[in-house]
Structure 1
Amino acid sequence: MSDCVFCGIVAGTTEADVVHADDALVAFLDQRPVFKGHVLLVPRTHVVTLDELPAGLRDPFLATAQRLCRAVVAGLGAQGSFVAVNNTVSQSVPHLHLHVVPRTRGDGLRGFFWPRTKYAAGERAAYAERLRAALASDRPSDR
């Protein structure tokens, strides 16, 4: 869709710090992260909600989400992650996206209030590189 920001990222016409891309999926850093290293995973195909995700993408979507969860731990030193998908309500961009938010004990995240932070100049690219390196060392064939 021409007016979808995530479709623009998938097409390469909208700037983003991509940490993973394959034939079906793209993962990139959230512009307004809950915590630094907050990743969004989207299908290349424009679908709005999880129930619209084609059956053939369900396993790759979840497998890539698992890899991203491991990457925020291995690459960023997080103790775990928060994973979420909004369907329509609270979905700021109407293109299916799964959030992987790095978590540490005592980080202050409570309930469903998602405070946002900002990256300093050049910091977002450094986080993206750390996640790409962690993903490179966690190949799907290893699982």
Structure 2
Amino acid sequence: MRDSGCISCAIATGQADAGIVYEADSVIAFMDLQPVTPGHLPVVPKTHAVDLENLDKGVGIQVWKVAHQLARALRWSGLRCEGVNLFLADGEAVFQA
């Protein structure tokens, strides 16, 4: 499922440019155009899900596995990385965009 107004869906389908860092069947990670910090990497499912309730459990697990791998890679990279923040916004009330 795709949402034509969703930037993550556009990136996942190649309709929007992005610096892809990781890509698999169900997950994609990319450099953010407006990074909060250096190394800011959104890790998102390739299938559109409005919220966690609509996200396939296996895909959700894969998202967190990839986030863990990339967090480790950031720690070992040349970027200054004093900490890693894993952030999940599930709903507009908590700033999900």
Interval containing the TM-score (normalised by the shorter chain): 0.7 to 0.9
The alignment's C-alpha RMSD in Å is 1.3
- For 1:76-95, what aligned pairs fall within 5 Å after superposition? 76-88=79-91, 89=93, 90-92=95-97
5+ residue gaps, structure 1, are 93-143
Superposition TM-score, scaled by structure 2 size: 0.86
- For 1:32-51, what aligned pairs fall within 5 Å after superposition? 32-51=34-53
Superposition TM-score, scaled by structure 1 size: 0.60
Whole-Å Cα distance in 1 between the matches of residues 50 and 74 of structure 2? 26
One-letter amino acid of the structure 1 residue matched with residue 75 of structure 2:
V
Relative to total residues, which structure has the larger strand share, 1 or 2? 1
5+ residue gaps, structure 2, are none
Structure 1 segments, 4+ long, off by >6 Å, are none
Q: Deviations over 1:63-115 (max 9, x none)?
A: 111011112111224122011111112112xxxxxxxxxxxxxxxxxxxxxxx
Whole-Å Cα distance in 1 between the matches of residues 31 and 17 of structure 2? 11
Match in the other structure for 2:70:
68
Percent of aligned pairs with the same residue?
Answer: 33
Whole-Å Cα distance in 2 between the matches of residues 27 and 53 of structure 1? 17
Structure 1 or 2, whichever has the larger Rg, is 1
Match 1:10 to one of 6, 9, 12 = 12
Contact 1:69 1:80 in 2 (8 A): no
One-letter amino acid of the structure 2 residue matched with residue 85 of structure 1:
L
Contact 1:72 1:80 in 2 (8 A): no
Q: How far apart are 1:51 and its partner, in Å?
A: 2.8
Q: How far apart are 1:58 and its partner, in Å?
A: 2.7
